[in-house]
Structure 1
Amino acid sequence: MSSFPFGDRRGDHRTYIRKKLNIDNTGTVVYQNGTGESLVYFHGAGTWHGIGFSDQWDKYFTTYLPYHPGFGASAINPRIDSIQGYVDHYAKLFDVLGLDRVHLVGTSLGGYLAAEFAAQHGSRVNRLVLACPAGLDVKEHPPTDLSKVPPEQIPNYLVHNVSSLAPYLPEGPDEEFNAMRKKEGDSACRLLLNGKMINTAMPSTLQKIQTPTLVVWGKEDRILPVGQAGHWQQALPHCEVNIVGNAGHLVLDESETARHAVREFLLRD
């Protein structure tokens, strides 16, 4: 069997241990590497750009990189049609993996999910990192409606320097790649509220998080404007913000500065 997940063969996972677990009768794939305290990363609404940016974390942490049901190599769970469904899924996954307490990092949709998880399971989260998170309805800084962006232009909205994504993009027609994008797009759409990935009760949800939190944002984010960052800081009781220049929405993929900031925050006493 290929070491690459279906539809994302350009992402190199060969240095990771691949686990396939049955969670709620759903095949769930988790990649694991490294040693030390446990770190779990929640990816965003697309997985085609891989997880290679996490390599340096493996020197300091036992890193777990799960694919949400309906994304990447994990099967679709038709019973999950809300963020709450994913929160419940991960509570079960953590139990199966024996993860009592972790550092939790999430990007975009994954940041939204990580915040919701920390609000409900704070005793299981040591430190929390939210990278360009979705979920908060900030009317002064609305998200870009990607349904109105031509597909070939999407990479330009994800990063500041599109060359960083070039190795992961097909050079011609690719049915497998397109099938995975549809699978993930359909899964993400089930989480939308009036076309937006928001929780109208998010401000009160964030007030429940007592975990030390770092919000990292790419200054050139064209999907979720950097102006949202301050609103997250206002809503979170124990939060600091790091705005990273020369980086877009996929700030951890694109910026060594961002990855270093996350590592130093998680290693802090």
Structure 2
Amino acid sequence: MTIDAAEPGSSASAVEEHLEYPGGKVHLFRGGEGAPVLFLHAAGGAGRWYEFHEALAGRFQVIAPDHPGFGGSDTLDDVEGVDDLVFHYVDLIERLGLERPHVVGASFGGWVAAELAVARPDLIGSLVLLSPAGLRLPEHPVEDLFLMTPDQVVTALFSDPARASVLFSGEPDIDDILAAYRDMTAFARYSWAPFLTNPKLERRLHRITAPTLVACPTEDKVIPVAHGRRYAELIPGAEFSLIDDCGHAMHFERPAAFADTVTEFLTTHTADEPSGVSR
């Protein structure tokens, strides 16, 4: 099935697909042509094709799955933690026939992307981590979104609250509320204890061999910029970039700046012959 891009004013489209797994289906969007980019979403933003997806799809083939339990994906009983998500995405890469795709992960998805690149460096062409979670820095604690009111979540995620309408409906109906509750339930399943961290990850980041960009917003109120800097320090050869004038949800708040930064990096690390993908 083909659906219109979610952002107002966009005339582009993406293909919606479902993959059958034992115990349920996994939902994904696919759009664009070229070298494949696997985009792993944050705690929010599942189930839709956004402006930033479309911007990347102008240069790459973007594959944007919903993590099990999020968006349009069923909860899979055997995917219980981030370690299970890693093997889930190893399987997805192989099932889709992606040859060393670029992997881009945002926040929680950045943590998953980093763990994937640690566990299977041979599968990853290049890596982009957007304000990634996953590290434990006691001197720079991560904010707990579970303890915030909806208004506090908006203030935490966006430097300009007016941009929050991209991600949050102004007057959510019952379906919006139930979808958000389901996503947060899945998020808690993967990240509750220990909260948004793998204490062993720091000492494993040296295993990443893919060219890596770590990009953080200057006004992140959820995951301090120090976390991104630590990732960049520990991943061999990693580049570090700051995106100005935006909060944690930078790819929603400043999609063009996000896309320009990521596209420039990925283009530099794309082979002359695009990686193959079977449909």
Q: Report if the CA contact (8 A) 2:2-2:16 is conserved.
A: no
Match of 2:15 among 2, 14, 17: 17
- The match for 2:267 is 267
How does 1:76-95 map onto structure 2 within 5 Å?
76-95=75-94
- The match for 2:179 is 180
What displacement does 1:9 show?
11
Q: Report if the CA contact (8 A) 2:133-2:227 is conserved.
A: no
How does 1:183-194 map onto structure 2 within 5 Å?
183-194=182-193
In terms of mean alpha carbon deviation, does 202-211 or 191-200 score higher? 191-200
Instruction: Give the Cα–Cα distance (whole angstroms) in 2 for the partners of residues 13 and 65 of structure 1.
Output: 19
Q: Report if the CA contact (8 A) 2:27-2:73 is conserved.
A: yes
What displacement does 1:24 show?
3.2
SS at structure 2 position matched to 1:249: coil
Give the AA of the match of 1:262. V
In terms of mean alpha carbon deviation, does 32-41 or 170-179 score higher? 170-179
- Over 3 Å counting, the alpha-carbon distance change for 1:258 and 1:167 in structure 2 is closer
Instruction: Give the Cα–Cα distance (whole angstroms) in 2 for the partners of residues 149 and 240 of structure 1.
Output: 32
Instruction: Give the Cα–Cα distance (whole angstroms) in 2 for the partners of residues 176 and 128 of structure 1.
Output: 34
Instruction: Give the Cα–Cα distance (whole angstroms) in 1 for the partners of residues 191 and 167 of structure 2.
Output: 26
- The match for 1:45 is 43
Q: Report if the CA contact (8 A) 2:14-2:49 is conserved.
A: no
Q: Report if the CA contact (8 A) 2:7-2:51 is conserved.
A: no
- Over 3 Å counting, the alpha-carbon distance change for 1:91 and 1:114 in structure 2 is same
Note the aligned Cα RMSD (angstroms). 2.4
How does 1:162-173 map onto structure 2 within 5 Å?
162-173=161-172
Tell me the TM-score normalized by structure 1. Answer: 0.91
SS at structure 1 position matched to 2:18: strand
CA offset digits 1:212-240 (Å, max 9, x no partner): 10000011011001122221112111211
Structure 2 unaligned residues grouped into runs of 5+: 270-279
- Over 3 Å counting, the alpha-carbon distance change for 1:173 and 1:212 in structure 2 is closer
Aligned positions, number: 267
How does 1:57-76 map onto structure 2 within 5 Å?
57-76=56-75
